[in-house]
Every structure is written in C-alpha cells, then in structure tokens.
C-alpha cells in the first residue's frame, strides 16, 4: 500500500530520507530545514516518520513561532541537546493554560509543533517550554 503527503508551505529544496521498520521501508522527500513537513512518501505501509541524520544541537533553544502574527495556525520550533522530558504549554494573558502541545520524553534533536488556535479569540498568547533545567517563554499574536 502506498501513501503520500504534501507540504503546507516550504520554499527550500528537497532532501531525501528513509524510514525503516521491520519488513517495511519507504522513501520520503522533505525540506532542507528538516524532516518536519514531508513533501512526499512512497512505498510506506504505515505512518511516515523520517530518520534525521543531522547532528544533535549544542544548546536548548525555543524559536519564535512563525508566522507571527498568525491566523489560525502557527509553528513552534525547539531544540534539545540531551534526552529530556519536554513540556510546551500555551497560556493566555491572564496566565491560564490554554493548551498543552508537548508532554513527553524526547531524544536530543530539533523539533517543531503546530498550534491550531482556530477556537480561540484574537489576542496575545505565551508559549513556554520546560526541558531539563531549561525554561523559556515567548509571545505570539493571534489576529483573526
């Protein structure tokens, strides 16, 4: 059984990658920025996950979401240099938790998560990461 997925929006050239599982392998093409938005995948019998051969990052980081301002979805990228329990939560201006985007143990690497705020009103929101002893907060603006 073959499947394919298309990218939402990327302007960089393709990079090949492979997914290996017992009795299954497939070919995937994804942007140079990493295996986040798979452009196409062929020969896969299950969900596509791409092996990332990029070196582990040296530091923890939380990037500014993009686009920002956004409506209704945005992407948040982050990096962790060591295996860590990672939590990313979104808060409103009153400090109330609106969403939990990530809450799991992750291996060292570069990651991204999409946030869909289609049910929320326009306004300023904050997203916070906790990973190991690293904590960082950034502001994002939802404009409908």
Q: Domain of 128: which CATH number?
A: 2.60.40.1930
**23's torsion region: left (phi>0), alpha (psi -120 to 50) or beta?**
left
Rounded to whole angstroms, how far apart are CA atoms 125 and 142? 7
86 and 44 part of one domain: no
103 and 65 part of one domain: yes
Does 69 score more than 60 pLDDT?
A: yes
Whether the model clears a pTM of 0.85, i.e. scores above it, the answer is: no
Structural domain containing residue 13:
1-53
45 and 115 part of one domain: no
What mean pLDDT comes out for the span 6-28?
A: 46
41 and 68 part of one domain: no
45 and 65 part of one domain: no
Domain count, the chain: 2
Which tokens in the block code for residue 2? Answer: 């073959």
Q: What would the pLDDT profile of 97-136 be if each residue is shown by its tens digit?
A: 999 999 999 989 899 999 999 999 999 999 999 998 999 9
69 and 138 part of one domain: yes
Unique residue bearing structure tokens 């289609």: 118
123 and 69 part of one domain: yes
What mean pLDDT comes out for the span 129-144?
A: 95
100 and 132 part of one domain: yes
Rounded to whole angstroms, how far apart are CA atoms 90 and 87? 10
77 and 39 part of one domain: no
48 and 94 part of one domain: no
49 and 65 part of one domain: no
């Amino acid at each position: 059984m073959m499947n394919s997925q298309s990218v939402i929006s990327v302007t960089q050239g393709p990079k090949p990658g492979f997914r290996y599982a017992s009795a299954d392998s497939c070919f995937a093409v994804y942007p140079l920025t990493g295996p986040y938005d798979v452009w196409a995948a062929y020969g896969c019998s299950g969900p596509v996950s791409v092996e990332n051969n990029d070196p582990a990052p040296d530091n923890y980081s939380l990037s500014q979401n993009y686009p920002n301002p956004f409506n209704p979805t945005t992407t948040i990228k982050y990096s962790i240099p060591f295996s860590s329990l990672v939590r990313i939560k979104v808060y409103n201006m009153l400090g109330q938790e609106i969403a939990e985007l990530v809450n799991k143990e992750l291996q060292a690497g570069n990651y991204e998560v999409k946030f869909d705020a289609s049910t929320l009103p326009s306004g300023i929101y904050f997203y916070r990461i906790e990973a190991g002893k690293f904590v960082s907060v950034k502001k994002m603006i939802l404009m409908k």
